[in-house]
Chains A and B, each alone.
Chain A
Amino acid sequence: MSTRLQKGGRLIDRSRAATFTFNGKQLTGFAGDTLAAGLLANDQMLVGRSFKYHRPRGIVASGAEEPNALVNMGEGGRFEPNQRTTTTELFDGLTATSQNHWPSLEFDVGVVNNYAARFLPAGFYYKTFMFPRFAWKHVFEPVVRQSAGLGKVPQGPEVDRYEYAYAFCDLLIAGGGIAGLQAALVAGGAGKRVILVEQTPHWGGRAPVDGDVIDGISADEWVKKTVQALEKMSNVTMRLRCMAAGVYDHGYVLADEKVADHTPGDGRPRHRLWRIRAGKIIAATGAIERPLSFAGNDIPGVMLASAVRDYVVNYAVSPGDRTVIVTNNDDAYRTAIALKEAGLEVPVIVDARTNVTGDLPAKARAMGIRVEAGRAVVKVKGAKRVTGVAIGLQAGEGAVLEEIACDAVAMSGGWSPVVHLWSHCGGKLTWDDAQAHFRPDATRPPTNQDGAAMVATLGSANGQLSAAAALADVAAQLGGKAVTADTVHEAALEPVWIMPQGAGHKLKMKMFLDYQNDVKVSDVQLAAREGYTSVEHTKRYTTLGMATDQGKLSNINGLAVLAGALNDKIPNVGTTTFRPPYTPVPLGALAGESRGDIFQPLRKSPMHGWHEAHGAYMEPVGLWRRAYCYARGSETHEQAVQREILNARANVGMLDASTLGKIIVKGPDAGRFLDMLYTNVMSNLGIGKCRYGLMCNEQGFLSDDGVVIRLSDDSWLCHTTTGGADRIHAWMEDWLQCEWWDWKVYTANVTEEYAQIAVAGPNARMVLEKLGGMDVSKETLPFMSFADGTLGGLPVRVHRISFSGELSYEIATPAGHGLALWEALIEAGAEFGVMPYGTEAMHIMRAEKGFIMIGDETDGTVIPQDLNLGWAISKKKADYLGKRGQERTHLASPDRWKLAGFEALDGSVIPDGSYIIADGFNGNGQRNTQGRVTSTYYSPTLKKGIAMGLVKGGMDRLGDVVEFNTLTTATVKARVVDPVFYDKDGEKGNA
């Protein structure tokens, strides 16, 4: 049984009880407990089921490395799966449930996988892909999907909020143990801007638990004193519950601060994501104890020796009355001593080393603890809880010499430095034979923008495992006043990767390396036998280290077993790549404030509010919102669009065209520049005139189009598509700054400076004349010209351009007058039947006219010549952007698909995305194609379906009947026609 001890517990406050529930059962702990400590205090050792075999699993660790004790936390809008109980602070009202079992934690049906384990070996998933072919779809996939993933996906929106914080510092120190604190003290004292982050709620790390003595005082007191000194330094920022998640290029660090995980609903953001630029980064991130690989090392009650010590010393929780220690090093003896001092029983210390010396074993022996040298745990007995261990020779094959009853096992296979932050940007590791671990190779650090070392590691993270060594490391690397810790002589550890070393297959089948993903010694050995000799391949084949703990416990043991199976040295096998984040960061924290209404910036035209107030259905166009249609009463969108079109064709319509890009190009060389930018000539455009132009990229493909107007001798205004404004402005600047930098040209993107309104329809002129202020007659203001003046007292520039095919005025006015002009036009137009129309009506009307739309008729592989726009390409210009590209043989081929119109023989609307099929099949058994539809609509004007598309032969195919495919086996027969369906002679637009 695990239970709460009567005395002790340096982190808990016995005066403040915290009530919580686990699987609906009400339990009580103390403030300062972790959830894991609270569960253990209530004898809840069994907390989950493993991923693959559904084996009962208990708490193994006491920190971020915990692989087993993951739970669903919270409810409703605060539900979150896979929360580590060992890093979750207990609070009153906490609710948690266990994961990965059905129907209950104690009785689980999926455990049948455990008995079928021999049929679920490494690479099981991959093998199911292989044969028989039907089995994957009908047998394996449903089963694998059912059992995939730990925990449940949260449903519905989250109620908490998150925020970003930005910070800059000379030195970021990750880890608030004694090395990190001392480093902050030295750097802070030298005047550096320091940020010190610690992932737990406590400063000091392991030293207080281990009973270290620093500068003659207890580690607890030294930590307290040092923290007080740091708090007085204004140049030092300290954050608890703040995990440095990743180090990125040029000193960029992400850190996740758990602001209110332990105080839900108190109004603070749940997490704060720190985005830090650090001059230098120190990883004082400590080390993680390794498990030992013996049979049954995953049975609830088997824990890391350091974790057992943590629970006893920090939380006054006893994992069991009788705890067997199994180790290959001296450090685990600290756990034996702590247990004994807490009044608990340690029946035996099983030490794999044949020769046990050192101060700590001597102290343990003096306390009367039995020490068995050269011995191994052959297997752990028990199912849902440890009941005992069978002991044999480490050098042997597993013959049992003795069985010892116990209810907990504390294991230690040595310590591995936490090198993640060192490795994220390419810091290299070196194998330390004496301590049997990888540690940072200081001669091969990750480097910054100046080529200098960007990250350093200190203390345990640097392989300096004892307090004395860690503090000496700080002094050596950072200087400062020497701080010394009392030295405890520890004898060398002996690497033990399999226990006992000669164990047979049956035992190896129960030696777990990766607890969360159920990867065993036998799996890694199988992978090696099947040819997976690279550690990266073995990882993927066996899933070793791929779970949410990312192999914090399993990686070193796993690659040591792999090295053994390959008969190679561990450093030759190497490690897998360390990638951020160090522990999982909630997606909410990464999103920060970018959710809901402020997910991204919203661009609104000056008339946006009017549209919304008049029933507009708004559609996103880039960051803009544009009115799609203005439905009235019970109208469907489709009905509204048809009404808007028919009204514009019969009376007059108004479109908010403010989002159109507007770029002023000005200067002595502006004409020359525009001649390079557009395929046709713009330099000879008369002042007061408009001209349609095309822009291509250097490959010759059509990129944007729009009307260019000439404002004065040296200035033009270029209209671009709504989505193209920023891109085209950047494109202009690119050429002006990087290629023709001696040309005298300025550009200015004035898109948002002006509102623009299209008034289109046979009555358009009458509406403008009603407003009055300037002459808009055909004689004074003919088609493709513009004039400045006033309308209804508002300053305007009126363009005679038409995208609808109707008599049309596009009226620009300073943005501040946009709404006033819109409302004045609506009022003046009332007697002429004016109605606003939206983007969908605009699209259909332009298709009726056969006008192309960038993004519909173009897709980055279409040249203007494909769209019968040769008339807009200058033959006499020596050069323009895209000219050389268009001269490529393939683009001049007569086989290219070219624009034509299409009408289904039955008058229906050809489905969007349809291809025109050709005879025969291609190599994949698909029909050959000879074209595709690019725009297809029901035309209310013509009362039938109309379409534009690209077809081999283009307009040469007029009259041909072609077949479009559909999503079913049926096809649609259509005739190739002129794409100008409406007003072929352009009389209306010219009127």
Chain B
Amino acid sequence: MLILECPYCGVKADETELSPGYEAHLKRYGPGSSPEEFEAYMFARKNPKGVHFERWRHAYGCGKWFLAARCTATLEVFGTYPAQSGEPPAELQAKIKAKRPNWEGYK
């Protein structure tokens, strides 16, 4: 039962208030993309043991989607931030790097 803070309404939301939405920062590949690109977008999702970026929706709260950086092994939450982000905020990346020196970056 995770607790994630919704970056929109500031509520520390219980997992029962949230719905999960798999990997964050996916680039959509539509018509014109190669089979390899489409396969990577559609099916080849990351499943790391360690730092992971994922999408959550505050479904039974404000209804907003947001992104979370979380360690899948220890369930430590490094931070949450709005879904309208092209990449994780720089300070969040620095925080993760400080806590997990071997982290290879979000890409």
Instruction: List residues of A whose CB falls within 8 A of some B CB.
Output: 248-252, 277, 426, 447-451, 698-699, 730, 733-734, 737-739, 741, 878-879, 883-885, 887-888
Known: A449-B3, A449-B75, A734-B57. A884 touches B63 (CB 8 A): no
B25-56 interface code vs A (CB 8 A; 1 in, 0 out): 00011111101001000100000000000010
Q: Are B31 and A879 in contact (CB under 8 A)?
A: yes
Considering the complex, give the chain B residue whose CB is closest to the CB of A879: B30
**Which residue of B3, B14, B28, B31 is within 8 Å of A887 (Cβ)?**
B31
A738 vs B53: C-alpha distance in the bound complex, in angstroms? 14
A877 vs B71: C-alpha distance in the bound complex, in angstroms? 41
Q: Are B30 and A883 in contact (CB under 8 A)?
A: yes
13 contacts between A and B (CB under 8 A): A249-B2, A249-B15, A277-B3, A426-B74, A447-B75, A448-B75, A733-B63, A738-B55, A738-B65, A883-B30, A884-B30, A884-B33, A888-B38
Closest 7 CB pairs of A and B: A252-B1, A451-B76, A741-B84, A737-B65, A449-B77, A738-B83, A250-B3
- B99 CB within 8 Å of chain A: yes
List 11 other contacts, CB 8 Å, given A249-B75, A450-B76, A451-B74.
Answer: A449-B76, A734-B65, A737-B83, A738-B21, A741-B83, A879-B30, A883-B30, A884-B30, A884-B32, A884-B33, A888-B38
Q: Are A883 and B31 in contact (CB under 8 A)?
A: yes
Chain B residues near A741: list those with CB within 8 A: 83-84
A250 vs B74: C-alpha distance in the bound complex, in angstroms? 10
Q: Are A730 and B76 in contact (CB under 8 A)?
A: no
Considering the complex, give the chain B residue whose CB is closest to the CB of A698: B42
B1 to chain A, nearest CB (A): 4
Tally of contacts, chain A with chain B, CB under 8 A: 70
Q: Are A737 and B31 in contact (CB under 8 A)?
A: no
B69 to chain A, nearest CB (A): 12
A698 vs B84: C-alpha distance in the bound complex, in angstroms? 20
A350 to chain B, nearest CB (A): 48
Chain A residues near B99: list those with CB within 8 A: 451
Known: A730-B59, A741-B83. A884 touches B29 (CB 8 A): yes
**Which residue of A449, A737, A884 is within 8 Å of B84 (Cβ)?**
A737
A726 to chain B, nearest CB (A): 9
Instruction: List residues of B whose CB falls within 8 A of some A CB.
Output: 1-3, 14-15, 19, 21, 28-33, 35, 38, 42, 55, 57, 59, 63-65, 71, 74-77, 83-84, 99
**Which residue of A248, A447, A699 is within 8 Å of B1 (Cβ)?**
A248
B38 to chain A, nearest CB (A): 6
A628 vs B2: C-alpha distance in the bound complex, in angstroms? 41
A252 vs B14: C-alpha distance in the bound complex, in angstroms? 10
A470 to chain B, nearest CB (A): 30
Known: A249-B75, A733-B63. A449 touches B2 (CB 8 A): yes
Q: Are B1 and A249 in contact (CB under 8 A)?
A: yes
Q: Are B31 and A734 in contact (CB under 8 A)?
A: no
A592 vs B5: C-alpha distance in the bound complex, in angstroms? 27
B11 to chain A, nearest CB (A): 13
Q: Are A250 and B63 in contact (CB under 8 A)?
A: no
A561 to chain B, nearest CB (A): 33
Chain B residues near A450: list those with CB within 8 A: 76-77
A783 to chain B, nearest CB (A): 33
A426 vs B2: C-alpha distance in the bound complex, in angstroms? 15
Known: A451-B76, A738-B55. A878 touches B2 (CB 8 A): no
Chain A residues near B57: list those with CB within 8 A: 730, 733-734
A972 vs B78: C-alpha distance in the bound complex, in angstroms? 61
Chain A residues near B30: list those with CB within 8 A: 879, 883-884
Chain A residues near B84: list those with CB within 8 A: 737-738, 741
Known: A249-B2, A249-B75, A734-B65. A878 touches B31 (CB 8 A): yes
A170 vs B45: C-alpha distance in the bound complex, in angstroms? 38
A739 vs B65: C-alpha distance in the bound complex, in angstroms? 11
Chain A residues near B77: list those with CB within 8 A: 449-450
Chain A residues near B76: list those with CB within 8 A: 447-451
Chain B residues near A885: list those with CB within 8 A: 38, 42
A737 vs B7: C-alpha distance in the bound complex, in angstroms? 14
B74 to chain A, nearest CB (A): 5
A347 vs B23: C-alpha distance in the bound complex, in angstroms? 70
**Which residue of B21, B29, B31, B75 is within 8 Å of A250 (Cβ)?**
B75
B10 to chain A, nearest CB (A): 16
Q: Are A737 and B64 in contact (CB under 8 A)?
A: yes
Q: Are A739 and B1 in contact (CB under 8 A)?
A: no
Considering the complex, give the chain A residue whose CB is closest to the CB of B24: A738
A878 vs B33: C-alpha distance in the bound complex, in angstroms? 12
B95 to chain A, nearest CB (A): 11
Considering the complex, give the chain A residue whose CB is closest to the CB of B70: A449
Chain B residues near A738: list those with CB within 8 A: 21, 55, 65, 83-84
Chain B residues near A734: list those with CB within 8 A: 21, 57, 65
A730 vs B21: C-alpha distance in the bound complex, in angstroms? 11
A850 vs B104: C-alpha distance in the bound complex, in angstroms? 55
A879 vs B14: C-alpha distance in the bound complex, in angstroms? 37
A140 vs B71: C-alpha distance in the bound complex, in angstroms? 47
Considering the complex, give the chain B residue whose CB is closest to the CB of A699: B42
Chain B residues near A451: list those with CB within 8 A: 71, 74, 76, 99
**Which residue of B38, B75, B83 is within 8 Å of A884 (Cβ)?**
B38
A887 vs B76: C-alpha distance in the bound complex, in angstroms? 41
Considering the complex, give the chain B residue whose CB is closest to the CB of A740: B28
A878 vs B21: C-alpha distance in the bound complex, in angstroms? 27
Q: Are A447 and B74 in contact (CB under 8 A)?
A: yes
A451 vs B32: C-alpha distance in the bound complex, in angstroms? 44
A748 to chain B, nearest CB (A): 11
Known: A698-B42, A730-B59, A734-B57. A739 touches B28 (CB 8 A): yes
Considering the complex, give the chain B residue whose CB is closest to the CB of A250: B3
A57 vs B86: C-alpha distance in the bound complex, in angstroms? 67
Chain A residues near B21: list those with CB within 8 A: 734, 738
A248 vs B14: C-alpha distance in the bound complex, in angstroms? 12
- Residue in A447, A449, A734 with the greatest tally of chain B CB atoms within 10 Å: A449
Chain B residues near A250: list those with CB within 8 A: 1-3, 75
- Residue in A248, A878, A887 with the greatest tally of chain B CB atoms within 10 Å: A887
A449 vs B84: C-alpha distance in the bound complex, in angstroms? 24
A45 vs B28: C-alpha distance in the bound complex, in angstroms? 71
A733 vs B65: C-alpha distance in the bound complex, in angstroms? 8
Considering the complex, give the chain B residue whose CB is closest to the CB of A449: B77
B42 to chain A, nearest CB (A): 6
A699 vs B29: C-alpha distance in the bound complex, in angstroms? 11
Chain B residues near A447: list those with CB within 8 A: 74-76
Considering the complex, give the chain A residue whose CB is closest to the CB of B63: A733
A740 to chain B, nearest CB (A): 10
Chain B residues near A251: list those with CB within 8 A: 3
Chain B residues near A733: list those with CB within 8 A: 57, 63, 65
A736 to chain B, nearest CB (A): 9
A277 vs B2: C-alpha distance in the bound complex, in angstroms? 11
A248 vs B2: C-alpha distance in the bound complex, in angstroms? 9
A738 vs B55: C-alpha distance in the bound complex, in angstroms? 9
A961 vs B55: C-alpha distance in the bound complex, in angstroms? 50
Chain B residues near A887: list those with CB within 8 A: 31
A741 vs B19: C-alpha distance in the bound complex, in angstroms? 19
Chain B residues near A730: list those with CB within 8 A: 19, 57, 59
Considering the complex, give the chain A residue whose CB is closest to the CB of B74: A447
A734 vs B84: C-alpha distance in the bound complex, in angstroms? 11
A698 vs B33: C-alpha distance in the bound complex, in angstroms? 13
A426 vs B73: C-alpha distance in the bound complex, in angstroms? 10
A733 vs B75: C-alpha distance in the bound complex, in angstroms? 27
Considering the complex, give the chain B residue whose CB is closest to the CB of A252: B1
Q: Are A884 and B31 in contact (CB under 8 A)?
A: yes
A699 vs B28: C-alpha distance in the bound complex, in angstroms? 12
Chain A residues near B2: list those with CB within 8 A: 249-250, 449
Considering the complex, give the chain A residue whose CB is closest to the CB of B1: A252
Chain B residues near A448: list those with CB within 8 A: 75-76
A955 vs B15: C-alpha distance in the bound complex, in angstroms? 48
A252 vs B3: C-alpha distance in the bound complex, in angstroms? 9
A737 to chain B, nearest CB (A): 4
Considering the complex, give the chain B residue whose CB is closest to the CB of A450: B76
Chain B residues near A884: list those with CB within 8 A: 29-33, 38
